[in-house]
Amino acid sequence: MAVVLTTARAFATCEAAKKVLNDAGHEIRIITPDKPLKAEELIPLVKDVDAVIAGLDFITPDVINAAPKLKIIARNGVGYDRVDVTTAKKNNIEVTITPGTNSLSVCELAFSFITGLARKIHVMDTSVCAGSWKRENGIELNGKTIAIFGTGAIGRNLAIRCTAFGMKVLAYDLYQNEELKEKYGVKYYDSMTPLFESADFISLHLPATEQTRNMINKESISKMKKGVYIINTARGDLINNDDLYEALTSGYIGGVGLDAFTEEPFTDSRFFNHKNVILTPHTGAFTQDAIVKTLVMAAQDVVRVLDGNKPLHSVSQ
């Protein structure tokens, strides 16, 4: 029997994922933090565990080195920039992700931001609840241009939905999707600049890397159309918050929808109650459907590794 630590907040209520581990005879230790755990919080929890099913926790070299029995870190999602994969490899620890399980959920939240900002639904909801009856002039999506940065599973699904609404879709990705080009008319560019210059909406679906961190900054904003809407359901590090706020308050940016932040919970009160801002608590993948698919896939790879087999969704090979 191995010990599996789970820090993904939804695991406590996911009976299907629990069953995968229980049927394999493993002990489950469930932690339900209200925010991603930092290294100093994780270290005392991992000392005798064989596997971790992790949320957005910071799994640093110190955490990994504090867990001599650890064989697998299974990320509950597709992003793994908070896991030190290099140290994991050195310690013969597998790092896995759950590709495709929550892509529709995140895509649909991004599209909800697009429609919500376009029609200023959040502003009118507040108005009606306050006893007012003020209408807001919105815009139609038909004929508008959206720039999608990253056309993996999430960005691909978003592109398909945007074309169905009559939007022109521009895309940036190191790996171009031939189906999107041929079937849906998506136009790819090798540079980000044409997308910044042409877009009415920008939606971010890239990992946080040395090349993408702070990609939304004063310089890139200066290339954008006045009134552009920016949606981020990927990583908070993609946006420079100071530059974004400055452009919002000046009215240069028309509005933003944010589900990912540099610090979580998000405490930058400058963005609170701003009529052109919609904020959600990193909830893109948080649907009943996605939770079950994601946690079951993570648990299945844990069982494979603890049985001495290779995982199906490793990023550390």
Instruction: Please give the Cα distance from 97 to 56 (Å, whole number).
Output: 12
Residue 148 has phi, psi (to 5 degrees) of -110, 115
* Alpha carbons within 13 A on the beta-carbon side of 119: 10
231 C-beta neighbours (distance < 10 Å), count: 27
Q: Tell me, what amino acid is at 274? A: H
From the candidates 75, 122, 282, 304, give the one annotated as an active-site residue: 282
Among 75, 122, 235, 313, the active-site one is 235
264 is catalytic: yes
Query: What's CA 293's distance to the chain center, in Å?
Result: 16
**Amino acid in the structure at residue 56:** L
- Which of 27, 40, 179, 264 is flagged as catalytic? 264
Helices 288-306 and 15-23, packing angle to 10 deg: 10
Residue 187 C-alpha from the chain's centroid: 24
262/272 Cα distance (integer angstroms): 16
Question: Is residue 214 within 8 Å of 238, Cβ to Cβ?
Answer: yes
> Is residue 282 among the annotated active site residues?
yes
Positions marked active-site? 235, 264, 282
